[in-house]
Amino acid sequence: MNSHPYGPVAPTAAALAALHPLPLTAVRLRSAGLLGSWQDRNATTTLPHCIDKLDDRGNFANLRRVTGEFHGEFAGFWFADTDIYKTLEAAAWEIGRTGGSSDFLAETVDLLEKAQDPDGYLDSYYQVDHREKQWAELHFSHEMYCAGHLIQAAVAAARAATSDAAAQQILSVARRFADLLVRRYGPGGEDAVCGHPEVETALVELYRLTGHRPYLETAKRFVDLRGHGLLTSDRFGPGYHQDHQPVRTADEVTGHVVRQLYLLAGAVDVAVETGDTELLQATERLWDSALDTKTYLTGGQGSRHRDEAFGDPYELPPDRAYAETCAAIGSFQWAWRLLLATGNARYADEMERLLYNGIAGSTALDGTAFFYSNPLQLRTGHDGSEETASSQRLSWYACACCPPNLARLMASLHTYLATGDDEGLQVHLYAAGTYTAGGHTLEVETRYPWDEQITLTITEATPGPWTLALRIPTWCSSAQLSVNGEPVATHAGYVRLTRDWQAGDRVELTLAMPPRLVGAHPRVDAVRGTAALARGPLVYCLEHADLPTSGPLANVVFEDLELDTARPVGVQHDPDGIAPVTLQAPLRARPGETSSLYRPLAGTGTVAAIPYFLWANRAAGPMRVWIPVAPREA
């Protein structure tokens, strides 16, 4: 029936791969869990919201201009087709996950097929008004970036919904475009790259799906041709377009963040499928540079609004953090590919941090509003009118790259939680649900990340030794593990439990989650003298809505709050609150605006800190992750 039952990334048997992704339906999340509820919310609200917005904003009309069914102006940015493709990808994963309606897929694919040129070209911006510029401004055009998202949508449809005629239809449309790319730019073709990487990962995945090697060879060319000055230089410069240095010799992530991350994800794909260890090592070296000096506590990346770029090492201002949602998703996708290639737990640690902080925070509780940038501080008096520095999530954006990117990630989230094969199962991210691999099925019960307890019960087993590997996160300094009540020693990384498992065997894992105070490297000048609160994988923040209305901390200016580290941070469980677990932050207020020569001692109190991902779901107001630490003598 379904001969390609995998998620977004499925290395071939010949690839350099330490771990193997599970089939598409091997992990089923339960709605009661946090990740399961996000996935359900994505299906019931975010995905329909994206489809409505694409209709409202003219994205479909852009394609109808090509078919002659609509005669108005082109709407939105010139790469607006990608928002359709990412939404299609999300819809395809949903069909695979829940068997949901495929009407949107079928109708949209019909439109795409009609709009496509006979030679395979498809780009609603260039097909009507700008024919003379087709393929002529690759630094700017996003033509291959758009093609990449079309290809990824087709791969999703082929893997998730192969019984559907529309899935074969979109795969044909995508292959016609991919074949055109191979003819123009593949081996023996013109030396060229796109100003916005993305097609590299897509072509490798299309190779993995079809076995057609020219797709892989063309992707390899696109990776290797970077850094040779092929793109027209404009005011943005070569770093913006990721043409500043060959990937293999680069030692620092730089330039436009999303472009850098998408390129590096594609470089890993090419490296593992071609056995290119030098290229794989280059991506790991660049990962070090990103994580050592250019990543926010939330996993977000990109500290410059100008050109949506990485800053210098340690340039990580919390209030001007750009930290685009798409960058967090790109980082997650890059980390997943490195995890599959190497089996190194550090990549799973980063995926967890991104998922619960940088990514989770970008969607509102109701699933229909989104942040584009994800700052770690919002000041009193912030002017939230700028789209990419808004103080509240917006229902859509002029450049709407982020919401459909979230939709496609969330619709495929269950494919990123574990890996495995006949030898065993490796659980990277814990969530309530059912996990199946190699003739074994586990029921995972947990309220993670709110609770420390994770119970894994074997419900089906086949005879013979089989290994269950459980990740102990680096944030956890005290983990307890037992199998049928017998304690097992733990260590950071993967603890491997090999035995002849029987149905009914029970594994109990406790990841202790005391509140933590986190400090930054002193060279991160912008947060020197501050601390952040964390518990488990969650970064916490103070938000104005939680300030008391009476007592010593009432009516203080938010920025005058300081953390009193002489007192302990409390933990409060409140099933009916905005967060099931808040941290009780011991604070003092030191008025910064007084002109008095003498003044009262600081007011002291305790304020609830909430998980960062939940901020801006109540009354608008200031927020901060990094809190100034009160001097002991004050």
CA 214 to CA 201: how far, in whole Å? 14
What is the footprint of Zn ion within residues 217-236 (CB under 5 A)?
none
Part of the chain binding Zn ion (CB under 5 A), chosen from 17-25, 143-151, 398-406, 414-422? 398-406
Contacts of 271 (CB under 8 A, 6+ apart): 16, 277, 279, 280, 283, 341
Using the rule CB under 5 A, give the single segment among 102-110, 132-140, 402-410, 620-628 that binds Zn ion.
402-410
Strands 424-427 and 466-472: parallel
Give the interface segment with Zn ion, choosing from 236-244, 401-409, 569-577, 593-601 (CB under 5 A): 401-409
For residues 444 and 458, give the distance between their C-alpha atoms in angstroms, rounded to a whole number: 9
CA 233, 234, 238, 243 torsion-angle sign: negative
Site for Zn ion in 44-63 (CB under 5 A): none
Query: Can you tell me the distance from the alpha carbon of 455 to that of 430, in angstroms, rounded to the nearest whole number?
Result: 10
- Round to whole Å and give the CA distance between 366 and 237: 39
Q: Are 170 and 116 in contact (CB under 8 A)?
A: no
Closest CB to Zn ion among residues 257, 507: 257
For Zn ion, which stretch binds (CB under 5 A), given 201-209, 273-281, 393-401, 462-470? Answer: 393-401
Least Å distance, CB 75 to Zn ion, is: 18
Beta carbon nearer to Zn ion, 82 or 426: 82
Instruction: Answer yes or no: are the C-beta atoms of 511 and 452 closer than 8 Å.
Output: yes
Two tokens, residue 415: 């494919």
Retrieve residue 550's tokens. 């009476």
Please report how close the Cβ of residue 375 comes to Zn ion at its closest, in angstroms.
15
Helices and strands in the chain, H and E counts = 16, 21
User: Of 283 and 373, which CB lies nearer to Zn ion in the complex structure?
Assistant: 373
Least CB distance to Zn ion at residue 324 (A): 5
CB nearer Zn ion, residue 373 or residue 426: 373
Of 50 and 402, nearer to Zn ion (C-beta) is 402
399 as an active site residue: the answer is no
401 binds Zn ion (CB under 5 A): yes
Smallest gap from residue 124 Cβ to Zn ion (A): 20
Binding mask 116-135 for Zn ion (x = CB under 5 A): --------------------
The answer to whether 533 touches 585, Cβ cutoff 8 Å, is yes
Selected range binding Zn ion among 82-90, 212-220, 394-402, 430-438, rule: CB under 5 A: 394-402
Q: Among the options 89, 94, 200, 308, which is catalytic? A: 308
Q: Which is nearer to Zn ion, 396 or 558 (CB)?
A: 396
Q: Report in angstroms how near the CB of residue 363 gets to Zn ion at its nearest.
A: 13
* Helix or strand holding residue 204 (H, E): helix 199-210
Question: Whole-angstrom Cα distance, residue 443 to residue 221?
Answer: 44
Shortest distance, CB of residue 371 to Zn ion, whole angstroms? 10
Nearest Cα residue to 178 out of 212, 151, 213: 151
Query: Min. distance of Cβ 328 from Zn ion in angstroms?
Result: 9
CA distances in angstroms from 458 to 414, 420, 431, 446, listed in the order given: 19, 15, 15, 15
Select the span of 144-152, 397-405, 480-488, 588-596 touching Zn ion (CB under 5 A): 397-405
Assign 388 to helix, strand or coil: helix
- Burial of 464 by CB count in 10 Å (0-12 exposed, 13-18 middle, 19+ buried)? exposed
Q: Are 414 and 28 in contact (CB under 8 A)?
A: yes
The residue annotated as part of the active site, out of 50, 401, 476, 541, is: 401
Backbone phi and psi for residue 570, each to the nearest 5 degrees, phi listed first:
-90, 165
Measured from the CB of residue 387, what is the shortest distance to Zn ion in angstroms? 11
Question: Cβ of residue 58: shortest distance to Zn ion, in angstroms?
Answer: 19
How many residues of this chain bind Zn ion (CB under 5 A)?
A: 3
Question: Is 401 assigned a catalytic role?
Answer: yes
The site map against Zn ion for 240-259 (x = CB under 5 A) is --------------------
Does residue 112 touch Zn ion according to CB under 5 A?
no
Say how far apart CA 166 and CA 103 lie, in whole Å.
9
- Cα distance from N-terminal residue to C-terminal residue, the chain: 71
Using the rule CB under 5 A, which residue among 402, 425, 442, 534 binds Zn ion? 402
Please, which residue, 330 or 420, has the CB nearer to Zn ion? Answer: 330
Q: Residue 218 or 260: which CB sits closer to Zn ion? A: 260
Binding window for Zn ion (CB under 5 A); candidates: 263-271, 399-407, 466-474, 491-499: 399-407
518: enclosing H helix or E strand: strand 516-518
Tell which positions 573-602 bind Zn ion, by CB under 5 A.
none
Q: CB 409 → Zn ion: shortest distance, Å?
A: 12
For residues 212-223, b (16+ Cβ closer than 10 Å) or e, as one string? bebbbbbbbbbb
Residue 136 burial (CB count, 10 A): 13
Rank residues 326 and 623 by Cβ distance to Zn ion and give the closer one. Answer: 326
Cβ proximity to Zn ion: between 370 and 626 the closer is: 370
Give me 587's structure tokens: 């604070």
Looking at the Cβ atoms of 182 and 258, the one nearer to Zn ion is 258
Would you give the binding string for Zn ion spanning residues 297-336, x where CB under 5 A is met?
-----------------------------x----------
Q: Which residues contact 403 (CB under 8 A, 6 or more apart)?
A: 46, 49, 50, 53, 370, 396, 397
Q: Which residue is nearest to Zn ion (CB)?
A: 326
**Min dist. Cβ of residue 361 to Zn ion (A):** 14
H runs (alpha helix) in 121-198:
124-128, 138-141, 143-160, 165-185
Alpha-carbon torsion (68, 70, 75, 79), positive or negative = negative
Catalytic residues: 308, 401
Instruction: Kindly list the residues in this chain that would bind Zn ion in the complex (CB under 5 A).
Output: 326, 401-402
